Amino acid sequence: MRLTGFAGKAAIVTGAAGGIGQAVTRALLEAGARVTAADTEAALAANPAPPGVTSAVLDVRDGAALEALVTETEARLGPLALGVHAAGILSIGPLLDLAPEEWERVIGVNTTGSFNTLRAFGRAMVRHGSGSIVTVSSNAAALPRMNMGAYAASKAAVTMLVRCLGLELAGQGVRCNIVAPGSTLTPMQTGMWADQAANGERAVIEGNLESYRTGIPLKKLATPEDISDAVMFLLSDQAGHITMADIFVDGGATLRA
């Protein structure tokens, strides 16, 4: 099946310098979309956007900056048709030891940042009467995790935010969907491994009963391209009757019904 619905269309990717964001940006570019890649200044400096993509410095906690980004993108590229929200941060540690400032940082970027982004994307698409938004959440939104309470709570809020927005916008021609990755070979994932990469990967695949964490039935971690493939499907014309979906791309780790 060849995915369609990208050629010549304006797209914005937040978190575009991250592992998943980079894969989505490349996929959109290759499919013929006209892409703006948005991320923090430091992230874009470390991982520049590919040729043919416009870079934009963005802090998703700034709602006015999101509105300005959409306005500028539409002035250059035309009506916003495709929006991918992949920006997010990870925080590790027991909840009882978590500083209030760290809680606010995680919720600010992951949850409030999602609200700002989805609102800006949605407002533009409603004006045009069509559009597709995909948000990268996490399978951590669906089950408790040791020492990941702030992250999991922020992603659970994001998942329900997207589903509610999808319900509100369905009658106005705008689809809103979620991709929920599990463990994926990105710097966010490998940064949690205190030992060698091979040992860290093996431990994630096998799971850990002491920390109440299941392993991965498919016996491998996802690649960023595995996640971007799911994102591209949900953006495409072939997913034209799908909205409020929450697709887990985690090798079966969630054991989800």
- What pLDDT score was predicted for residue 172? 98
DSSP letter (8 states) at residue 79: S
**Is the Cβ–Cβ distance between 10 and 79 less than 8 Å?**
yes
Report whether 141 contacts 152 (CB < 8 A): yes
Across all residues in the chain, what is the average pLDDT? Answer: 94
pLDDT tens per residue across span 74-85: 999 999 999 999
pLDDT at residue 120 tops 70: yes
The SS3 assignment for 38 reads strand
Q: What span, in angstroms and rounded, lies between the C-alpha atoms of 233 and 226?
A: 11
Closest CA to 2 of 226, 230, 237, 179: 237
The model's pLDDT over 169-206, given as tens digits with 9 standing for 90+, comes to: 999 999 999 999 999 887 766 656 555 555 678 888 88
Q: Which structural domains are found in the chain, ordered by start? A: 10-182+223-248 (3.40.50.720), 185-221 (no CATH)
Active-site position among 151, 216, 226, 228: 151
Is 65's pLDDT higher than 80?
A: yes
Which pair of tokens denotes residue 22?
Answer: 């980079």
Q: Phi, psi at residue 18, to the nearest 5°? A: -75, 175
Closest CA to 58 of 68, 50, 49: 68
Q: What is the pLDDT of residues 22-45, one digit of tens each?
A: 999 999 999 999 999 999 999 999
The verdict on whether 212 is a catalytic residue reads: no
Which of 162-171, 203-212, 216-225 is predicted with the least confidence, judged by mean pLDDT?
203-212
What's the length of the chain?
257
Determine the residue type at 56.
Answer: A
CB atoms within 10 A of CB 239: 20
